[in-house]
């Protein structure tokens, strides 16, 4: 099982490739996951938001988990399965399934849409933690419609079995409030362009969509920063920011799936409704970044 000491570095919330008809493309998923593991990512996250978790059922999650474990092989890379929903009982059952599938930890998002109270959010995570698998709390108010207060997060982090938090709150405010209160469980930055900002404040790393296409660069940036080569890390990171911004110009994971398909890393960029493929304008912008084979960088 995942330890707090393992919750550091660059974690990759992997996409779920689909065939043109919408079925799982397990061949592409295995190929992509194995490639990411071989490049040295620190953790593989399956069935997160980037993996289109709202459209993936439990049978498909089992198939994805098996393929991910095969891709990881003997590598010392934790497997994290997304199990969070806005139904606590469903989240508990998915977390129980994750344990049976051999996951090292689960990623559980703050309940979305039904806008629970702060007490309800804490009770939700307490129930999930009772399953016995390490839980990474996922705070992303832009998608959930509710924002956790710092006191709520502190209470949740005190629960046995809560390993840390993925912070997509949009600023350092929550992280700094946690630090001020003396809580030191790992925090992973979930906002790609804020990685170094968070690490300078003491974050353990990031869970980053852009690591699909900038894997080696982000791993190098993380290492350089940890080694003390902060200016070099910033110089490298600044070069990635325009691409990162474009990858979120339309809703994730549509841009990264299109890029991965164009790069030949997955067979198709298919998404399941209500997600749709990116438009021609964004495709043109992404081509002009020079990240695709044969495309020239346009400044």
Q: What are phi and psi of 103, to 5 degrees?
A: -65, 150
Residues in contact with 148: Cβ distance below 8 Å, sequence separation at least 6, in sequence order: 110, 118, 121, 139, 141, 156, 169, 174
Residue 231 token pair: 């200016």
In 3-state terms, what secondary structure has residue 165?
strand
CA dihedral for 272, 92, 86, 172, sign (positive or negative)? negative
DSSP character string of 23-53: -B-HHHHHHHHHHHHHTT-SEEEESSGGGTG
- Tell me which residues are annotated as active site: 138, 166
Beta-strand relationship, 187-189 and 79-82: unpaired
Cis ω before 119 (30° cut-off from 0): no
**CA distances to 12, 31, 121 from 142, in Å:** 20, 32, 16
């Amino acid at each position: 099982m995942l330890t707090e000491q393992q919750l550091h570095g660059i974690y990759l919330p992997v996409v779920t490739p689909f065939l043109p008809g919408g079925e799982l493309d397990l061949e592409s998923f295995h190929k992509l996951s194995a490639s990411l593991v071989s490049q040295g990512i620190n953790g593989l996250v399956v069935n997160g938001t980037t993996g289109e978790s709202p459209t993936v059922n439990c049978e498909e999650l089992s198939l994805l988990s098996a393929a991910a474990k095969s891709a990881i092989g003997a590598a010392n890379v934790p497997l994290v399965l997304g199990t969070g929903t806005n139904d606590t009982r469903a989240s508990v059952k998915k977390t129980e399934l994750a344990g049976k599938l051999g996951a090292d930890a689960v990623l559980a998002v703050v309940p979305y849409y039904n806008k629970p109270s702060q007490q309800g959010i804490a009770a939700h995570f307490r129930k999930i933690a009772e399953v016995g698998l390490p839980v990474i709390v996922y705070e992303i108010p832009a998608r959930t419609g509710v924002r956790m207060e710092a006191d709520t997060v502190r209470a949740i982090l005190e629960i046995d079995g809560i390993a840390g938090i993925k912070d997509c709150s949009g600023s350092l405010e929550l992280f700094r409030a946690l630090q001020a209160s003396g809580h030191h469980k790992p925090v992973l930055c979930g906002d790609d362009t804020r990685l170094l900002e968070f690490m300078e404040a003491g974050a353990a790393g990031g869970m980053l969509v852009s690591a699909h296409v900038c894997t080696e660069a982000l791993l190098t940036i993380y290492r350089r920063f940890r080694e003390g080569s902060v200016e070099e890390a910033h110089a490298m990171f600044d070069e990635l920011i325009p691409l990162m911004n474009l990858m979120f110009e339309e809703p994730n994971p549509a841009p990264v799936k299109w890029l991965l398909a164009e790069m030949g890393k997955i067979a198709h960029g298919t998404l399941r409704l209500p997600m749709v493929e990116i438009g021609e304008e964004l495709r043109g912008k992404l081509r002009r970044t020079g990240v695709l084979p044969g495309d020239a960088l346009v400044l």
